[in-house]
A = this chain, B = another copy of it.
């Protein structure tokens, strides 16, 4: 097989399988080339991705040796994304009763979901995440996108308890906005035991929901390795979860007034 074809296949293999170890021996066999040639090809792909800031390719030591691609977002792409989202969401007609911001259209946009998933995956790339957990409904698309780039399963916390979920674990928690006791549950079979979990949601105000998820995950002896939201409100500044990453920060909302939304850099702490 010619080098040009090998490069196309290796690029595709890496991009189609983010955060997964690919064996060099397997690649060599499939692409009918010597392992040394494959290593040179991978080095070329790595060079391009890393120069563009759109990914890193790790070498994995061990018996067979392998490589793993992780997504990165080039700074210019991140800035364009932030400007685009701020422009779209800073529209007073999005202000809903009760201090909510209408975001469902934006959170259904495939480019928004893709880039948010990449940003979350990048922010938690070194946390060895084993499962992404979200709460129905609006956080699910974001969670699916992040889970794709982290290559881990996604588990969905339900606000009710449906027969189709089988045996479930439930807890009660006090919702932040409605100040009343609510239930959340998760299917036992969908949530691994003792996993390192990333909690993903669309919106965080006080953090009561995220706190509820943390408590629910404690029943699975999970370790919450991170909390990531699309938008977090500026107030209250102290959330009920100790640390989180948000892509945007939202100022106080009043019907008839403007929307103050600012990009918030995902910061690892």
Chain A residues at the B interface, C-beta cutoff of 8 Å: 3-5, 7-9, 11-12, 15-16, 44-45, 47-49, 52, 54, 94, 96-98, 100, 102-105, 108-110, 113-114, 136-138, 140-141, 144-145, 147-148, 151-156, 158, 163-166, 187, 189-190, 203
Please give 4 more A-B residue pairs, beta carbons under 8 A apart, in addition to A108-B153, A113-B154, A114-B148: A9-B48, A108-B147, A137-B156, A144-B144
A5 to B: closest C-beta gap in Å: 5
15 CB contacts below 8 A, A to B, read A5-B47, A7-B7, A8-B48, A8-B49, A12-B15, A102-B166, A102-B189, A104-B164, A105-B189, A105-B190, A108-B156, A108-B190, A110-B153, A113-B144, A164-B203
Number of copies: 2
A44 to B: closest C-beta gap in Å: 6
CA distance A30 to B231 in the complex (A): 33
A191 to B: closest C-beta gap in Å: 9
CA distance A15 to B203 in the complex (A): 30
The interface residues of chain A, by DSSP majority, are classed as helix
Residues on B with beta carbons closer than 8 Å to the beta carbon of A9: 48, 52
> Known contacts A4-B3, A105-B187; is A113 also within 8 Å of B15 by CB?
no
Residues on B with beta carbons closer than 8 Å to the beta carbon of A48: 5, 8-9, 12
Contact with A4, one of B4, B94, B113, B114 (Cβ below 8 angstroms): B4
Chain B residue with Cβ nearest A1: B48
